[in-house]
Structure formats: structure tokens, C-alpha cells
Amino acid sequence: MSRQRKIIITLALIMSNAMAGLDGTIVNTALPAIIADLHGIQYMGWIVAVFLLTEAVSTPLWSKFGERRGNKLAYMLSTFTFGFGGLIQGLAPNITCFILARGLMGIGAGGMNTIPFIIYARIFNNIKRREEVIGIATASFSTASILGPVLGGWLVDTFSWRWIFFINIPIAVISILLIQSFYREHVNKQANAKVDYLGAGMLVSGLALILTGVQLFGQAKIIIVTALMIIG
């Protein structure tokens, strides 16, 4: 693979790291506007929790999908899922639709956070260069996370909270097109070993129950404290 092709692929993958980092903090700035517009104060915690839940449970599944069907396809599908989830969130007419789309976006983020690093390992045989690229990708995630609140506040004040999701769409499309055009991958058919569906199901169920339990515990604690304050 030529050096120019590697640079283009790396830039395309770094876009996904930046999108994931940006979404992790930009939503927090827009939460008051989202809740006020969609009338979902009681679901405020789930706006954040459902994204983290679906991201956590989908991460290992995307890695396995990449092994069987190719990391290129896995990356493009996860990025498309992320962008499509952002589009639905931006168009959401109610809080239920918004939260479901938020979960869909989290599923896409699970692949976007893992598959790029697998591809880095495939295209950079030099360990030192691979470390440099991973460092740049990590820095892009951190930088986007820092810029998230500032950008989110500006978009909400200037346009609408819906634009914090719409901005991901062109970035996702460009990233997908670049990977489709420049990344060539040979999928090893012999690697298509039998999938441990029972183990995958137990993993997803366990993570879902743990994160849901933490979320419900937090809500129950607030209710108990509020009740005690009223009684007192």
C-alpha cells in the first residue's frame, strides 16, 4: 500500500474518532434544550445511559463481525449506523424516538471506537509508526471531547439543538466514501470460525443488566431522597 493511500485511510479513520469524542460531550450542552423541546425531563438520565449501554454491548460484537466479514465492511456499517442514528435524533418528534435513535447511534459508536485501531494494525507494520498513528487518533478523540461543549453551545444558540447531530452526517459520509475508495482488504475466509452465540448473548445480557441496574439505582436513590425531604 502506498504512503499516500495510508495517509488518506488514516485521515478517514481519525474522523470517526473525532465524531465519537465530539458526541460524548456535545450532547451535555444541549440537554436542557432537548428536554425542554421534547418534554422528557423524566428521561434525562436515559439520554446518556442508553448511548453508553448500546456502545458497551456492541463493541465486542463489531470486532467479531470484522473478523468474519472484514474490518472494512464493519467500519462502514458502524459509521453508517452512527450517522443514521444522528439523523433520526435530529429529526426526532418526541423523546421516545430520540432515545431509540440515541441507542442506535451508540451501536454505531461501538464499532467506530474499535475497528479503526484494528485497521491501523493491519496497514502499519512498523510498530513505531503504528504507535504514532494511534497517538494521533487518541489525541483527536480528546481534542474533539474538549471542543464539544463549546461547539454544542454555539450550535444551540445560533441554530438549534438538532444541528449537533446533523453535523455528524457529512463527516460520516466522507469517511465511508474514503474507506470504500482507498482501503483494500483481503478477508481470510478460514477465519470464519463458529460463533459462540451463547457467550455473545450472555455478554450482551450481562452488560445490559449491569448498566441498566446502575441507571435504575441512581433514579431510585433520587426518588428516595426526595421522598425523605418531603416527609421531613
User: Which CA distances in Å does 63 have to 23, 170, 189, 223?
Assistant: 21, 25, 16, 39
CATH number listed for the domain at residues 3-195: 1.20.1250.20
pLDDT tens string 58-90: 888 888 888 888 899 999 999 999 999 999 999
C-alpha cell at 105: 447511534
Exposed / middle / buried, residue 20 (Cβ in 10 Å: 0-12, 13-18, 19+): buried
CA dihedral of residues 70, 176, 101, 99 (deg, nearest 10): 90
pLDDT of res. 115: 92
The sign one gets for the Cα dihedral 139, 28, 38, 33 is negative
pLDDT of res. 179: 93
**Domain range list for the chain:** 3-195, 197-232
Give the span between the Cα atoms of 34 and 31, in whole angstroms.
5
pLDDT tens string 88-135: 999 999 999 999 999 999 999 999 988 999 999 888 888 888 888 989
Residues with Cβ within 8 Å of residue 74, at least 6 apart in sequence: 62, 65, 66, 111, 115
